[in-house]
């Protein structure tokens, strides 16, 4: 997950094989931009989480492992994105 002053981005990598990018969603994606008041707030993060979950389901991936960095707090945009992933049925391991 990356939170910048311009966008919210979430990516899933396949660490078992070659660290290839499997799925990516960003608030700058054209289909996600529509209807968002801001590309960087909690609502945008939740929308990115929802889009990421849909793309994971399309690829047949039921769950992902989330590695939290040291000192990283579980609140705000990060919480909104991860909660939306859980709500849409993606298991966080």
Q: The domain that contains 28 carries what CATH number? A: 3.30.420.100
Tens digits of per-residue pLDDT, 16-50? 989 999 999 999 999 999 989 999 999 999 999 99
Q: What pLDDT score was predicted for residue 17?
A: 86
CB neighbour list of residue 70: distance below 8 Å, 6 or more residues apart: none
* Domain carrying residue 54: 2-92
Domain count along the chain: 1
Q: What pLDDT score was predicted for residue 85?
A: 96
Torsion sign over Cα 65, 61, 79, 44: positive
pTM: 0.92
């Amino acid at each position: 997950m990356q939170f910048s002053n311009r966008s919210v981005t979430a990516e899933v990598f396949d660490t078992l094989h070659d660290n290839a990018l499997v799925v990516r969603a960003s608030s700058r994606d054209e289909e996600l931009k529509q209807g968002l008041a801001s590309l960087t707030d909690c609502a945008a993060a939740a929308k990115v989480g929802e889009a990421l979950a849909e793309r994971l389901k399309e690829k047949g991936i039921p769950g992902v492992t989330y590695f939290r960095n040291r000192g990283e707090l579980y609140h705000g945009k990060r919480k909104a994105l991860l909660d939306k992933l859980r709500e849409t049925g993606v298991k966080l391991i």
